[in-house]
Structure 1
């Protein structure tokens, strides 16, 4: 047995005090080698569809960093501090709609709800191109938040119904690849769109909002037509009931292998009540995960929103600055898949969350203390290194929390809470980098290093708690046997 302080490999249901599992409904495992092939088929069908939808969400949520390198502040006669207010309102809208969104999704099903969200925020994102005043900008940002709220936890819950618990970390990370790919690729798209500045009488930032919003609407159509309705049911809307992604045998394996792993998933659509929400909020373990995301993402949100501006301040033009912003995010995709694969293989999650946060603490400190007289490319390299870990600590923390959720209701509410925390972090993180601190942002970077350090301590404490609970459970089990 590993003696590492963050070892939760042997933490089971007895540690989290979950109720006993329901009967397995007489399911008999009548497959063996077929399971791997079926799981791979689910991976290749389901994850790309969900990841593309996440791509659209992050593209419309995160393109404000590219817009900041254009002339939006001049055209709307506002400051970057006022831009930050819009970012805060977007995050506030998401926070307020997270749990209601989950409740609605459970009632009407993921295909209808997730598709509707895509079209709703796609329309708002598109019409951002036509705002002409500060109040109009604020209205579109909060509406965008309301429409996007709940999409991530709803999609994560839907994803979890297709997989066994020990398969979730890697698949959660692959789902978040949509967000990461959007952060990197939308920077390149935005760099190209900025070259349209002045075309048809529209500024570059308006072209970014317009084209990327239209891309989201197209993705919404594709998503609606292709997403399977539920675990084991492979009949997409485009099929009109005539064909399915899976054979009857494959559908049988998909449903039953998950039920054997967690019989509670047999409930299908669930009803989330006020009592379910309160029971989840009362659990200190879940709230520690939520607080960990809140703190760690606050530092991340501030740095990433202003990364293109910091690169531009090195002497690059707006187009090149946005293109260079994409490089570390592509690198972070490799970093994340390595950590996620290690999580599922070792069945340890805490140590890898801590490792991701450690990278942030060290790299943010290096960015804060970097030599201002160094060469342009040296300083860019330091900024790139500080962005390589990206939000991997949050993504891995989501998988860590999901693994120990005891019921479908708890998992749905817990996922909403942790994503709410990430967006609350956006509210705080949007105010770390201030106009008066530009272009070096020394005060903002000092705050980011400090906040990342606090998140490191929180992660260590949470991992230690899991360790001691495991030790107590093992000792109790030994006493019972004796």
Structure 2
């Protein structure tokens, strides 16, 4: 994007006018004139973005760390004696893991619609309070039926957080800035495996305290954390650049302006201030490219959710004690976190998405092939070593895919629905992933590793198809601009109509 020129003087009269996002003429304020003098890529812009980074990204990262720990700690609870104490057998554990995803996947789109209708900070605080209470109460269960009820309502409460948080980030950053921030946020999911293992190792020592089992204390303590955070997060989490109290008016105007001009082509405008309407809901849910991305998403969720819920048991089956199995998960997730950050930074630097998605899934394929080839439980060190490319390869493409789709949807109402749809239906892969690691196949888990491998291969293929479709559309729009010219095309639409077109605008360019 070209830098903004300093044609307007900071001290210019504020009586000038402009066309706003709804196509109406209005007065331009002094702060808006000052904002136009800031270079989009200059030191002042970097200072403003750093100010946003420190206020927004660490908060969301902490919340996602807590959310992912709470949804996946059932794997730690299993190693701590959950299945034994509740007399579970056969596929009952898999059913409990799976049940979470039923409400989780069905409620994400409605949740993001609510998000657009109210302040994000309020909605996220409500969600946190709800899932924290559910998790805490799971520490009081004494039967398998109670576990199923707890997992179901945990899925209800957590369903809206991830699509809300990722959408919130897109309201603050341009397309080749947002992924690095999303990666830091998402690394919390990778680190949750490490923290969950470490916390479970420590909490297990409370086994027998106050007449409760170690796995019960895991649920209780890890549930009280989001309850406490919910009481302060509604005040600490900023909602949008337009309303951010920690920014000056000039800084707010600058952020709004640079985001409005982020179409990828250097022409036209987009808006984040559109109102949620039926047309945007339909547009977000009917875009075939979002559904193609869902197939790519399944490669991640089938592997990640099955792997996360099973990896402590896999390590335990290699001859390590339950306590050491918890600790040995930590290096795996740290490696996945590092790989996620590197891929995200590199992808933003090169301003491309699809090659890094493909590279991640191919890395995971190598790990799955090795797990299938190594004779378990022989060579425990080698088996453990090849869990690293599995985790790294599965985690790193995910945030690149979410950023890719976020970059390709406009205006913000369509983006809110499309991103929620992607995450919602994509997370249905968790249902499959939770049922392919069969207890009778441990420690080799042939079905689990084999199906995950096949899904990764399918994701690579669909990534190639989606890149081809975006590239083809970009070429058609470039040809249209060359043939008719920018002014002639712009004359066909009013300003409001052009904003409503969003990613269908002839000036919008898709990220590859």
Q: TM-score range by the shorter chain?
A: 0.7 to 0.9
**Contact 2:129/2:226, CA 8 A, preserved across alignment:** yes
Residue in 1 aligned with 2:271? 265
2:104 is matched with 94
Residues 175/373 of structure 1: CA separation in 2 closer, same or farther (3 Å cut): closer
Segment drifting more, 440-449 vs 122-131 = 440-449
Give 2:488's aligned residue.
Answer: none
> 1:255 maps to which residue?
256
Kept in 1: contact 2:358–2:397 (CA 8 A)? yes
Which residue is equivalent to 2:327? 323
- Structure 1 unaligned regions, length at least 5: 1-8, 10-20, 236-244
Q: Is the 8 A contact 1:22 1:264 kept in 2?
A: no
Q: Is residue 291–residue 421 contact of structure 1 (8 Å, CA) maintained in 2?
A: no
> How does the TM-score come out when normalised to structure 2?
0.83
Tell me which of the two structures has the higher relative contact order, counting C-alpha pairs closer than 8 angstroms and 6 or more residues apart: 1
Q: Distance in 1 between matches of 2:206 and 2:130?
A: 26
Equivalenced residue count is: 451
Write the distance in 2 (CA, Å) between the matches of 1:381 and 1:233.
48
Deviation of 1:475 after TM superposition, in Å, equals 4.7
Deviations 1:188-244 (A, max 9, x none): 111111222222221111111011001221222342231123324333xxxxxxxxx
Matched residue, 1:180: 190
Deviation at 1:79, TM superposition (A): 2.3
3-state secondary structure, aligned to 1:77: coil
**Which residues in structure 2 correspond to 1:264-413 (within 5 Å)?**
264-267=270-273, 270-273=275-278, 275-372=279-376, 374-413=378-417
When normalised by structure 1's length, the TM-score is 0.88
- Farther off after superposition, 197-206 or 255-264: 255-264
Structure showing greater Rg: 2
Measure, in 1, the Cα distance between the counterparts of 2:449 and 2:294: 23
| Partner Cα distance (1:381, 1:182) in 2 | 20
Give the Cα–Cα distance (whole angstroms) in 2 for the partners of residues 383 and 346 of structure 1.
Answer: 29
Q: Which residue pairs with 1:218 in the alignment? A: 228
**Partner residue of 2:37?**
30
Q: Do the aligned partners of 1:195 and 1:319 also contact (CA within 8 Å) in 2?
A: no
Give me the whole-angstrom Cα distance separating, in 2, the residues matched to 1:162 and 1:477.
29
In 2, Cα distance between the equivalents of 1:316 and 1:127?
31
Name the CA distance, whole Å, in 2 between partners of 1:100 and 1:476. Answer: 37
Any idea what SS the aligned residue of 2:54 has? helix
Instruction: Give the Cα–Cα distance (whole angstroms) in 2 for the partners of residues 253 and 44 of structure 1.
Output: 18
Decide whether the 8 Å contact of 1:126 with 1:209 is kept in 2.
yes
Alignment of 1:105-254 (within 5 A): 105-235=115-245, 245-254=246-255
Give the Cα separation in 1 of the matches to 2:132 and 2:412: 29
**Equivalents in 2 of 1:74, 1:189: separation in Å?**
21
Distance in 1 (CA, whole Å) between partners of 2:432 and 2:118 is 33
For 1:395 and 1:283, the matched residues in 2 are separated by 20
CA contact (8 A) 1:53 1:220 kept: no
d(CA) in 2 for partners of 1:451 and 1:69? 27
In structure 1, C-alpha distance between the alignment counterparts of 2:471 and 2:402, rounded to whole Å: 19
Residues 312 and 415 of structure 1, relative CA distance in 2, 3 Å threshold: same
Cα RMSD between the aligned structures? 2.2
Select the residue among 429, 434, 450 that pairs with 2:433: 429
Q: Distance in 1 between matches of 2:315 and 2:199?
A: 17
- Quote the offset at 1:359 in angstroms: 0.8
User: Take 1:22 and 1:354, find their aligned partners in 2: how far apart are those partners?
Assistant: 40
CA contact (8 A) 1:102 1:150 kept: yes
Q: What is the alpha-carbon distance in structure 2 between the residues aligned to residue 473 and residue 103 of structure 1?
A: 30
Return the alpha-carbon distance in structure 1 between the equivalents of residues 207 and 426 of structure 2.
33
Deviations 1:294-347 (A, max 9, x none): 244213322222111000111111111111112111111111111111221211
CA 1:477–1:261 in structure 2 vs 1: closer, same or farther (change >3 Å)? closer
Partners of 1:281 and 1:229 in 2: how far apart? 25
Q: Which residue of 2 aligns with 1:238?
A: none
